[in-house]
Amino acid sequence: MLQIINKSNQHKTAIISNGNSYSYDDLQIASKEFASFLLDDDTDLAESRVAFMVTAGFDYVKTQWAIWQAGGIAVPLCTTHPLSSLQYVIEDTQAEVIIVSPEFESILKDLASQKNIKFIVLGQKYEEISKELPQLLADRKAMILYTSGTTNLPKGVVTTHANIEAQVSTLVDAWEYSENDHILCILPLHHVHGIINVISCTLWAGGTVEFLPNFSADGVFNWMKRMAESGINGVFMAVPTIYFKLIAHFETLEESTQKALTENMKTFRLMVSGSAALPVSVMEKWEIISGHRLLERYGMTEIGMAISNPYHGERRAGHIGQALPNVNIRLVDEQNQEVAIGEAGEIQVKGDNVFQEYWLKSEATENTFTKDGWFKTGDVAVLNEGYYKILGRSSIDIIKSGGYKISALEIEEVLRAHPNINDCSVVGIDDEEWGELVVAAIISDDKNLNTDELNKWIREKMPSYKVPRKYKIVDELPRNAMGKVTKNDLKKLF
C-alpha cells in the first residue's frame, strides 16, 4: 500500500463519507500530517503497535495510512466490541498508542490511562507539522488482525507490507478494478474483506470508496439507484448473509420499484460474495433480481484471497473457482501428501500473500505451516472439473456466522464462568440466512435458567455476533468412550 500512498494523485475523489467527498490529495496530505504527529520526537515508530477504534470513513483510512507511513503496525479495533474484547487486543498486541474517534473516547480513555498508553482523540487540533517520514522496506510488519481459531482465544495475524501488496495487486488484476470504480463499504473494518478487498484494492486502482455507517438494505438499494442514475461504475461486495437480507427486503417492495431496481443493478460492473459459503439458492435469486451472477471467492485473514471464480468466464454455483494468479494451492491428506484430482483434501496455500506469523505465538505459527512452508487452512475442498468446491472444515469448533469466524471453545469458556452453568458445549447449526447459527447446550442446576439474562451477561463479555441464538438445558452432553463431547450428536439436538 505504501506505493499508492506515495503516488502523486490527484484531485479525484478517493472517499465519500458522512456526506463529504475527499480527494486523493486530501487523503495524502491528511495522512502525512497525522503520521508526522504520531512520530512526535521519533524518526520511525519501528513497528510499535497502534490500536485504533475509528468510525468507518475518511478518518479510518487517514489513520491507517498515517500509522503505516510512520512505521507503526496498524491494529484496527472493532467499533462494536465490548470493552473486554477490546482490552484483549490492546493487551495482546502491547499497543503503545490508542487512537479513537471522539464517540469512542469514553470507552477506552480509562484503560489507556491505567496502562499508560498514549491516547489520541481524533478531531482535536493537533499541530500541523510536516516531518520527514521513514523509508520502509516491504518486509516490515504492517497490520495485525484478530481471528478466531481452534484455540479458545483469538490470535493476531501479522501481515507485512509485502503481504498486503501481494493480496491487493493480485485481486486488482484478477477482477479488473479501475479508477472508474465506485464501491460501497458496509463491512466491518477489522477484517480483510472490508480492509483489503473493498478499501485497499479500490484505492490502489484509483477508484472511489463510499461509506455507509451501518448495513441497511434500504441504504444499499438507495445507493445502487444513485450509482445507476449517475452513470457510475458501481461495484458491490458482501457476505452471503447480506445478499440474503437484500433479497428479503427486495421481496417486500412494490413490483414497479423492484423493476426499477433491477434495471439499476444491471448497470453495475461487478458484484462479489465471499467470507462464507454462498448458498446456491441465494446466488440464483440474486441473479434474477439483479441480473448479476455473483462472483464467489474464497479467502482467509491469514492469506487474503486465494481462490476465485473467474471475472471473465463461468462463475459456477456452489464452487469457489480457481487459484488466483501468484497464489499456489494444493489439496492434501493428513500426511500432507497431495490427493488425486477428485478427492477431498485440506486446502494449503503458499505465496507472497500468506501472512508472516501469529503475533507472539511462535508455536501456533509453527504448527500452522508444513515443514516446506505451506499454510494449512483447515478448510477441506475437492477439485471438481477445474473448480474448487469447499466441503467443510477440519475442526467442528470453528463456526462461520454472518461471515464472522467464531470459536466454539471461546464461547464455552465464557459460558462456563457463569455461576449457574456447570458445563456446556457450543456448536454451529446450518442456517440459510446466517450460514451457521451459534447454539449452546447447557448443564445447570437451575432448570429455569433465564436465557435473556444469560444473553445480557454474555454480551458484556463478547461481541453480539458470538452470542448463542438458542440454548438447550440438558442433563448431560453426548460423549464418546474417551469422554469427549460428540458435537455432531449435539447438533442433532437442535
State yes or no: residue 283 binds ligand AMP (CB under 6 A).
no
Number of H helices, E strands in the chain: 16, 25
Shortest distance in whole angstroms from residue 283 CB to ligand MLC: 16
State yes or no: residue 269 binds ligand AMP (CB under 6 A).
no
Shortest distance in whole angstroms from residue 228 CB to ligand AMP: 27
Q: Give the amino acid at 186.
A: I
Nearer to ligand AMP, 15 or 320 (CB): 320
* Of 35, 44, 32, 40, the residue nearest 137 (C-alpha): 44
Shortest distance in whole angstroms from residue 288 CB to ligand AMP: 21
Residue from 62, 193, 269, 316 binding ligand MLC (CB under 6 A): 193
State yes or no: residue 437 binds ligand MLC (CB under 6 A).
yes
Nearer to ligand AMP, 249 or 376 (CB): 376
* Of 46, 80, 82, 77, the residue nearest 64 (C-alpha): 77
Residues in contact with ligand AMP, shown as a per-residue x/- string from 352 to 381 under the rule CB under 6 A: -------------------------x-x--
* Of 427, 485, 420, the residue nearest 449 (C-alpha): 420
State yes or no: residue 308 binds ligand AMP (CB under 6 A).
no
Residues in contact with ligand MLC, shown as a per-residue x/- string from 224 to 263 under the rule CB under 6 A: ---------------x-xx---------------------
Strand order in the sheet with 387-393: 328-332, 345-350, 375-384, 387-393
State yes or no: residue 277 binds ligand AMP (CB under 6 A).
yes
Q: How many CB atoms lie within 10 A of CB 367?
A: 12
* Gap between the terminal Cα atoms of the chain: 46
* Of 404, 409, 401, 406, the residue nearest 431 (C-alpha): 401
Binding residues among 416-445 for ligand AMP as defined by CB under 6 A: none
Query: Which run of H or E residues covers position 435?
Result: strand 435-443
Q: Please check whether residue 51 is in contact with residue 79, taking contact to mean a CB–CB distance below 8 angstroms.
A: no
Q: Please check whether residue 351 is in contact with residue 326, taking contact to mean a CB–CB distance below 8 angstroms.
A: yes
Nearer to ligand AMP, 101 or 167 (CB): 167
Q: How many CB atoms lie within 10 A of CB 180?
A: 13
Nearer to ligand MLC, 36 or 64 (CB): 64
| Helix, strand, coil share (%) of the chain residues, nearest 5 | 35, 30, 40
Residue from 14, 277, 300, 409 binding ligand MLC (CB under 6 A): 300
Shortest distance in whole angstroms from residue 108 CB to ligand AMP: 24
Binding residues among 152-191 for ligand MLC as defined by CB under 6 A: 187-188, 191
| The C-alpha cell that represents 139 in the structure block | 518486509
Partner whose binding site includes residue 379, from ligand AMP, ligand MLC, none (CB under 5 to 8 Å by kind): ligand AMP
State yes or no: residue 147 binds ligand AMP (CB under 6 A).
yes
State yes or no: residue 301 binds ligand AMP (CB under 6 A).
yes
**Residue environment code for 140-171, b if the CB has 16+ CB neighbours within 10 A, otherwise e:** bbbbbbbbbbbeeebbbbbbbbbbbbbbbbbb
CA dist 470 and 464 (Å) reads: 13
Partner whose binding site includes residue 242, from ligand AMP, ligand MLC, none (CB under 5 to 8 Å by kind): ligand MLC
Stretch that binds ligand AMP, among 28-36, 121-129, 275-283, 368-376 (CB under 6 A): 275-283
State yes or no: residue 194 binds ligand MLC (CB under 6 A).
yes
Partner whose binding site includes residue 465, from ligand AMP, ligand MLC, none (CB under 5 to 8 Å by kind): ligand MLC
Virtual CA dihedral for 237, 241, 246, 249, nearest 10 degrees? Answer: -170
Residues that bind ligand MLC (CB under 6 A): 187-188, 191-194, 214-215, 239, 241-242, 274-275, 299-301, 401-404, 434, 437, 464-465, 469
